[in-house]
Structure 1
């Protein structure tokens, strides 16, 4: 673990981004192995953890950095320039730690007092039902698919519907130790293979009341009495989660752009008399278009992060228009990254699809990652449009 700042002050954004950049070469080298094994290499996960990059959302009193959302974005983007899957896991596990940090202090102590690098996998989706009440808690049985980071987590946070006598069940986050659940090997996807986003299975796991956290109050910013008042984590959860994913896509698109530009002077412009690709106006135009898409995507992602941070620093919770905009902007960022990589693949030529070429792995990763459910099905556009005409977007989806 790298030494921390003097007098216990957590490292700032510049230092943390520099740490992420220092890992790039090693992550790039291990990326094919992570892709083939469908899980990150031990060296990759150890490198990110050893650099302190799993502590971004951990409370400072327990050895974490309590970083802002812009820092998470820039760190994940730098990691993504080395390996998209590693960046995805870095973003997701930090987001999971963010949610764990919203639990009461006793639970925070359980998670981090013995290990400030403890990692929390988290999944948002349909809550498990059929939960049984028990003395002092609940018995949880269920399955949750697409749990990115589950292979490298110490804790797992899932949604469950807790029964209430005479009323509808109330959705809660349930926090379980990783050794209490099983992992079903279901992640056989074309891209983001290294994320190992498998299915988590719980069979009658006892979860004490202290490790149950009401879900809707957090989404709606109704944190008084739920979250430690001294905690400045009042960011929109949806904005946070999207940032945790977007850094990977931005990093991957940037890595693809850098690779194509660096190789252009060494590659022939097939079917022409140009000395190399760099001399071809077509390649120059493609690079200009891809660069513009990537830079636009970075600006939009930064806008999402900054809006969340501004609300947090002001002790406020972003209104539904800002939150709906975050989902729409996130969708646009994902689309721009995918479009940029597609342009770069065509510009490079058909050998970009050779299995030995890193471009094809980035292409697969960005194409799969950009189609995450949070970015798709036209829902983000509907949410933003409804908010723009003064209607409540939560009539469509609670994930705002």
Structure 2
């Protein structure tokens, strides 16, 4: 590997996030993914033939999302047949992992220009579809954790119990998410990152009238006396996002002005039963690798799979609460699984640019008890 090579993100775009059975429901995932690829070309002026690979995250790879959506998206966008594509599954972190793989390819010299992104149409391929047949996890894993259930909802209840998070605290965080997302939308904070679609121009899931009192009427979803319910959990959603990754040298040669440099990244494993607790060890590890402290980071995107996840992350990291998900999160706008990593990074990069924030950090819990963590640095 050439020591002088770096990896930069030139641009990042996303679709508005649609509610389940909402405005994006009729879109085929391949066609929706093609929209963000087309937008990247339009925004950067890059020739699709210059792209060495398309790496897309997608979790439920069956039905409409089978047969390698990464490759099919490039074909649907009209890109040359010579441009390959691959589809990646690291559960909810699939498109964040796609970014890490794209960066690794560029840093190693295996590629010079890569598109990383993701898509998930949970309306068309419902959550849990891949577990409908066969034996998920396999007999040896099931034997190893014989008395445990692999349930993210139950894991969220475990976190709430472990960190002393009441239902009120979780509901207050939910209201915060909706309030911040609505304010960001009204202020135009997402305008520079969204791909305009005929059927949807803004994130569809925001509930502007959400209050702790209204959330109190919702029934717990996983335990009769639990704190987790539909209102303080991420929404089931549809969406896609994509980022253009290259080197500083190649960007200059192509006349491109990057948004940010990929500074550091990691992925960790943790308890697969609690399943949601890996973002804090991932955060500690990536900060150590980067040689940075928690206060050096000006903005954090920690996926709001369930309210206890970012709240427990705050408790474990000591981060400033106002820097956490400043534009709201998945509780308000949704969590289209395989697209969420790229969506969070798109939100983070544009927020950093708009507010002149030098360092940003992203992490998200992933099924199986894993988490990616990524630090990016704004370029002048």
Larger radius of gyration: 1
Higher percent of residues as strand: 2
Which TM-score applies when normalising by structure 1?
A: 0.28
Higher percent of residues as helix: 1
